[in-house]
Structures are given as structure tokens and as C-alpha cells.
Structure 1
Amino acid sequence: MPVAMSPYGKSQPSCFSCTKMDFVMGCTMGMVAGTFSCLRIGMHGQELMDSIRKIMMRSGSTFGTFMAIKMGA
């Protein structure tokens, strides 16, 4: 389906581009929230380094998925 042109001559982003951008933005926000939650519950040192990667990926992917679904709908 062709994308409509704006009055300024540039085309609008496609639905997939908007959904992809929203997923990445949600992933970033979720990763930051996961980091703060690790620090808030009191993780330090080796415990923090062992679990922060898993928590960041889990919270980032969850929040990114829900944000992409919300913005894509």
C-alpha cells in the first residue's frame, strides 16, 4: 500500500518502522527499569553482576513487546 506524502514532500514512516522504533524504545526503558530494580532491592558486587544481565533482558523484552503491541494497534 503506498504511503501518503506529507505537505513537506517527505513520506510518513511505515507501520513496521513505527512498531520497531517503539519496541526499541520500550526495550531501553525496560532495561533501565530493570537496572534500578536490581539496585533498589540491594544487590551488590558479584550478585549484581551475575543477575543484572538476565533481569535487564527480561524486563526490557517484556516492556518492549507490550509497548510495540500498544503502539502498533
Structure 2
Amino acid sequence: MPVTGGPYGQSQPNCFDRIKMGFMMGFAVGMAAGALFGTFSCLRIGMRGRELMGGVGKTMMQSGGTFGTFMAIGMGIRC
């Protein structure tokens, strides 16, 4: 029996799209967490100005990439 689409003729996303969506969601959540924790830790050690922005940006990218990778792996396992 052929697989039918969802309601209104929509089809389900394939596995690669799900993994990509999981990475993007995890990256967004990781960036938000990195902004909070990165700002706090950089201010605590006395960074100001351009140094502060660079430190917070680095922390946001690292935490976003890490959490995004784990979310992508989780979505891949569910496929």
C-alpha cells in the first residue's frame, strides 16, 4: 500500500530534513544558553568592550555547535 501524505496533501520530512531541523533547533537553544552563561562568565573575569563581545560570541558558537550536534544525533537516532 503506498504511503499517503498528511492532511491537506502535506508529506512528512525525510530523515535528512529531520536531522537538519534538530541541529538548527539545538543550535538556537545552545546560542541562547551560551549568551547567558558567556556574558556572566566574561563579566565575572573582568572583560569589557570588544574583548567581552569576542568572548561571548565564542561561547555562543561553541555551545550552539555542541548542543546542535547532540540534537542532530538524537534526531538521527529517531529516524
TM-score interval, smaller chain: 0.7 to 0.9
Q: Which runs of 5+ in 2 are unaligned?
A: none
Match of 1:39 in 2: 39
Q: Deviations over 1:47-70 (max 9, x none)?
A: 321211211111100000000101
Q: Deviations over 1:12-58 (max 9, x none)?
A: 11111111011011001001101100222252434321211211111
Q: Which runs of 4+ in 1 moved over 6 A?
A: none
Q: Which has the higher helix share?
A: 2
Match of 1:24 in 2: 24
Give the CA RMSD over aligned residues.
2.0
Distance in 1 between the 2:39 and 2:56 partners? 9
Over 3 Å counting, the alpha-carbon distance change for 1:8 and 1:45 in structure 2 is same
Over 3 Å counting, the alpha-carbon distance change for 1:52 and 1:42 in structure 2 is closer
Larger displacement relative to structure 2 (43-52 or 53-62): 43-52
Question: Does the 8 A contact of 1:25 with 1:64 survive in 2?
Answer: yes
Distance in 1 between the 2:76 and 2:5 partners? 20
Match of 2:6 in 1: 6
**Aligned sequence identity (%):** 53
Match of 2:69 in 1: 65
Question: Does the 8 A contact of 1:33 with 1:59 survive in 2?
Answer: yes
Query: How many residue pairs were aligned?
Result: 72
Larger displacement relative to structure 2 (42-51 or 2-11): 2-11
Distance in 2 between the 1:70 and 1:60 partners? 15
